[in-house]
Amino acid sequence: MKERWPIGFIYISLLISLIAGCATPGSTSKPYRVSTQGTVIYGEEYEFKLPPPGWNLFWPEGEEEDGEFAFGFIRKDPGPFPSLSVFAYDEEPFGYSISFGEREKEFFKRFLWNANLQFEVLERKEINLFGKEGLEVMVEGKDPVKKEKAKAKVIFAKRGERIVAFYLTQWRPWDGAYDPSAFEVFDQFVKSFKFLKKSFYETL
């Protein structure tokens, strides 16, 4: 299995890149295009509606070898550090199980593992996505030492027999308020998401 970047490191790197004006796709050759319907065709494999202005498309450098996820969007939120919202699509979420319950356990053992957050599950529910069963989990993690917190929404879905994931993480200082509009944008992104072809594993 490929070596995966700790998402806390990516979060800090993306924040620095965003402040520097580099968290945009202009300097890379990663393929994407806009369809006649106004949707984005990414890698000729995924199609989705763009989120509102303020959200910047990004992907990890060297993702083919050791990236954390396929691609995502980042938004710098009003307020002091670490006010930031990030959401992503992941073809290989942490873990191996094809059972949603087991995969959830495997995933959260490593999700944001280097951020020292103490997670609490706020909500868990079964959903239907892409015409198949799925699982939606809302969690909140807090770091009492750094006085930071994060609220995350993770959606596990099926692509063929394999589990894929979408997740949004919103970072805030200890006394900062979460912005529900980011979660609405995330939900619309997931709802618009389409697979344009079978994955490599589905063709075996």
pLDDT reported for residue 203:
74
Q: Are 115 and 94 in contact (CB under 8 A)?
A: no
Q: Are 137 and 153 in contact (CB under 8 A)?
A: yes
Mean pLDDT of 27-51: 83
Rounded mean pLDDT of the chain? 83
What's 168's domain CATH number?
3.40.1000.10
pLDDT reported for residue 24:
46
- Which range marks the domain in which residue 104 is found? 7-203
Of 6 and 98, the structure prediction assigns the larger pLDDT to 98
In a domain, 106, yes or no: yes
Which helix (H) or strand (E) segment is 181 a member of? helix 180-192
In a domain, 75, yes or no: yes
The count of structural domains within the chain is 1
In a domain, 128, yes or no: yes
pLDDT digits (tens, 9 = 90+) for 60-83: 654 443 445 688 999 999 999 999
pLDDT digits (tens, 9 = 90+) for 150-178: 999 999 999 999 999 999 999 999 999 99
pLDDT reported for residue 198:
83
Q: What residue type is 58 in one-letter code? A: F
